[in-house]
Amino acid sequence: MTLKQRLLIPFVIFFLNVGFAQDSEAVISPKDISKTSFLDRTEFSVSYSGNIFWNNGLNFGAEYLLKEYTKVKNRKRGQRTNTHEVLLNGTLGFTTNFSTTTDTGIFTNYGVTWRRTNKKGKQFSIAFNPLGYYRSFLPETYEVNGDNVEKVFLPGRGYYAPSISIGIGKQRKDKKITGRFFNVNLMLRTPYNAGTLPAINLQYGFRFNFKKKRKDAENNE
């Protein structure tokens, strides 16, 4: 055994002990959501989607709560409680370059979101969407067919377009507008020419639940 390996072993043991100690302090409590109605478990969203400079649009989405649990950790300053959620998500969006109309398209994505919420309602989320489709639309286009020049109907093409998002947000409990969020989204369009076209978009918007208003009305009676 070399000297370098002998020096590394104590550090490896130390970090393993710290990791296991932290895990042993964590208490995970699953929440039973089996009796929760479909609408109570579903939130909808609307957001701006684009990169501000040359590509802007709107994004509409829905999230369905699949699993929820609470994780409590003991810290020197006290307990830290976070709520973790696993959600199914789906989006439908529209984007365009309003000045040139050369990058106009509609897209849809479906996947899974993991979200963590602390006691103050601050949220952090990661979404992975392996199912995605992007349909581009080009300006007025013509093609030569024999001796004739004909106008192309709905010029453009479709792409397989998976995406991944990382975001932050703020929860609003017992409100119809249940929260706001800001996401950074990376979408890949393929096949694009001979490869893949990456596109980074920013999303800022709000989530809402249709049943919150009814619940609040019942509580006020």
Written as six digits, the tokens of 35 are: 């009796």
27-220, which class in CATH?
mainly beta
- Name the 3-class secondary structure at 21: helix
The Cα–Cα gap between 89 and 82 comes to: 21
Q: Per-residue pLDDT tens for 47-63?
A: 999 887 778 999 999 99
Q: Residue for token digits 């706001």?
A: 180
Mean residue pLDDT across the chain: 83
pTM here is: 0.77
| Whole-number Å distance between alpha carbons of 165 and 175 | 25
Q: Which residues pair with residue 123 across a beta bridge?
A: 117, 169
Vertex 60: Cα angle to 166 and 213 (nearest 5): 105
What letter represents residue 205's amino acid? Answer: G
Report the pLDDT averaged over residues 156-172: 93
